[in-house]
């Protein structure tokens, strides 16, 4: 994973991963969901989020209307399309023999005679709601009655495909997180921050430029903010970006940052303290705040168990935080092929009583999460003014245990 990696080599790896995922993940989730047929429809430049992750690395978009069909619980797959979709989906339609693509799809499904036909429809998960209204209507119109009655929402298929991490991916994911951590550490140092001169926006753009120069991608613009004495506690709302602010000695600097490499996303938040001229370390009260946030992380990870929903994990963790006198807010989410990925939502910053839909989805093995949360603590050295330590680190759940992919921040970086 260096800048010497060529795009050609990256494409080779991505196609290898895709082949392995199609051969192992799809049958696994189709069997789990009891759906023996899965139909995905995407238009060029209007790709279903799932279809986008199934295209060959040399396809930067779908072509015309692309229809992918899995039958026999994923053991057979074809493209009802003008073109074969890489080696994985041989074309099963010739316009010379059957002029109408939809009619060929109906014909193919009649031959396969599936018992349940999943399509990507979901009011709760945008990543699993990829079929357009017009394509859904066209599909239902062309199917005979007996097959039309077998069409069901396939959102669990879409989520299972997107959320499941493979052995090959997990061999690289910790390294991707380490590279992101390295960039965060540099951003929270004198290399980038000169107190009294550097503004938060300067740090954001340093990160964006350095990520691009390093050969990675970003999936959101970094956020850099400060908390300082006499400014009052950090605002509770995340609804607006913080104002561009010059960083001063005595500030607590926070960064929210993520990169993308070979389709794997990171999402991390860490803090640095800008020491005053007479300080060797951050104020003890601020360090205690970091310890409190780490304790909330511990309590949250302890509640991960297969089959539990995001809402169940959220409520159990908050109860334990209350019992220990921790003022916590939890807003963790899956991560993987998307930054805010498919799977159970474990709280939102403005919904600590549970999240409808996405919070009701259960935890499955071989999935990754951004453990995102905050702990609010009064700092005696700031006359009791509250400081909010906002942490986010990426972790992997194997079905029994969950652990951070590249460790976590336990001490404030000193600037």
Tell me how far apart the alpha carbons of residues 4 and 20 are, in angstroms, rounded to a whole number.
25
Percent of the chain with pLDDT over 90: 89
CB-based contacts of 303, cutoff 8 Å, min separation 6: 312, 313, 316, 317, 320
Tokens found for residue 211: 């990520």
Strands 385-397 vs 367-379: parallel, antiparallel or unpaired: antiparallel
- Model pLDDT, residue 2: 47
pLDDT, greater one: 62 or 13: 13
- Of 181, 190, 201, 182, give the one whose Cα is nearest residue 249: 190
C-beta neighbour count of 144 within 10 angstroms:
10
Tell me how far apart the alpha carbons of residues 26 and 118 are, in angstroms, rounded to a whole number.
13
Task: Read off the pLDDT of each residue in 186-203 and give the average, rounded to a whole number.
Answer: 97
Task: Read off the pLDDT of each residue in 119-138 and give the average, rounded to a whole number.
Answer: 95
Tell me how far apart the alpha carbons of residues 97 and 64 are, in angstroms, rounded to a whole number.
18
pLDDT digits (tens, 9 = 90+) for 90-110: 999 888 788 899 999 999 999
φ, ψ (nearest 5 deg) of residue 174: -60, -35
Q: Which run of H or of E encompasses 260?
A: strand 260-261
With contact defined as beta carbons under 8 Å apart, do 53 and 66 qualify? no
Residue 12 scores a pLDDT above 50:
yes
Q: Name the average pLDDT for the chain.
A: 95
Q: Identify any residues that bridge with 77 across adjacent strands, giving them in sequence order.
A: 70
φ, ψ (nearest 5 deg) of residue 223: -115, 125
Q: Identify any residues that bridge with 70 across adjacent strands, giving them in sequence order.
A: 38, 77
With contact defined as beta carbons under 8 Å apart, do 258 and 220 qualify? yes
Tell me how far apart the alpha carbons of residues 205 and 68 are, in angstroms, rounded to a whole number.
40
Residue 1 scores a pLDDT above 50:
no
What global pTM score does this model have? 0.94
Q: Which run of H or of E encompasses 76?
A: strand 76-79
- Model pLDDT, residue 230: 87
CB-based contacts of 402, cutoff 8 Å, min separation 6: 301, 304, 369, 395, 396
Tokens found for residue 147: 């097959």
Residue 236 scores a pLDDT above 90:
no
With contact defined as beta carbons under 8 Å apart, do 156 and 29 qualify? yes
- Model pLDDT, residue 407: 97
> Model confidence at 313, in pLDDT bands (50, 70, 90)?
very high
Residue 3 scores a pLDDT above 60:
no
Residue 287 scores a pLDDT above 70:
yes
Domains of the chain: 7-162 (3.40.350.10), 165-414 (3.90.230.10)
What sign has the CA pseudo-torsion 405, 410, 414, 415? positive
Residue 389 scores a pLDDT above 90:
yes
């Amino acid at each position: 994973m260096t800048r010497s990696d060529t795009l050609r080599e990256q494409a080779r790896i991505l196609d290898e991963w895709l082949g392995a995922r199609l051969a192992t993940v799809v049958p696994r989730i189709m069997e789990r969901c009891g759906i023996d047929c899965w139909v995905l429809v995407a238009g060029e430049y209007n790709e279903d989020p799932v279809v986008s992750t199934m295209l060959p690395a040399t396809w930067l978009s779908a072509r015309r209307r692309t229809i992918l069909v899995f039958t026999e619980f994923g053991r057979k797959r074809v493209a009802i399309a003008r073109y074969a979709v890489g080696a994985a989906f041989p074309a099963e339609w010739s316009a010379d023999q059957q002029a109408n693509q939809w009619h060929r799809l109906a014909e193919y499904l009649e031959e396969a005679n599936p018992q349940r036909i999943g399509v990507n429809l979901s009011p709760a998960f945008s990543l699993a709601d990829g079929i357009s209204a017009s394509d859904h209507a066209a599909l239902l119109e062309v199917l005979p009655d007996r097959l039309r009655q077998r069409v069901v929402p396939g959102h669990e298929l879409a989520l299972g495909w997107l959320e499941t991490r493979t052995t090959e991916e997990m061999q690289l994911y910790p390294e991707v997180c380490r590279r992101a951590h390295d960039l965060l550490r540099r951003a929270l140092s004198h290399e980038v921050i000169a107190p009294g001169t550097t503004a938060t926006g300067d740090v954001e753009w340093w990160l964006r430029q350095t990520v691009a120069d390093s050969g990675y991608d970003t999936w959101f613009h970094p956020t850099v903010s400060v908390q300082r004495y006499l400014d009052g506690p950090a605002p509770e709302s995340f609804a607006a970006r913080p104002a561009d602010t010059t960083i001063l000695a005595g500030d607590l600097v926070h960064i929210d940052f993520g990169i993308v490499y070979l389709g794997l996303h990171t999402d991390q938040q860490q803090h640095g303290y800008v020491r005053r001229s007479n300080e060797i370390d951050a104020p003890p009260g601020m360090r205690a705040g970091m310890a409190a946030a780490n304790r909330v992380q511990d309590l949250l990870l302890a509640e991960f168990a297969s089959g539990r929903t995001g809402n169940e994990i959220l409520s159990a963790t908050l109860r334990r935080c209350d019992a220990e006198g921790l003022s916590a807010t939890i807003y963790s989410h899956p991560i993987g092929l998307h930054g805010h990925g498919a799977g159970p939502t474990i709280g939102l910053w403005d919904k600590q009583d549970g999240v409808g839909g996405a919070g009701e989805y259960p935890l499955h093995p071989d999935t990754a999460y951004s453990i995102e949360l905050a702990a609010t603590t009064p700092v005696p050295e700031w006359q009791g003014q509250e400081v909010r330590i906002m942490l986010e680190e990426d972790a992997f759940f194997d079905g029994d245990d969950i652990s951070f992919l590249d460790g976590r921040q336990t001490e404030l970086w000193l600037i």
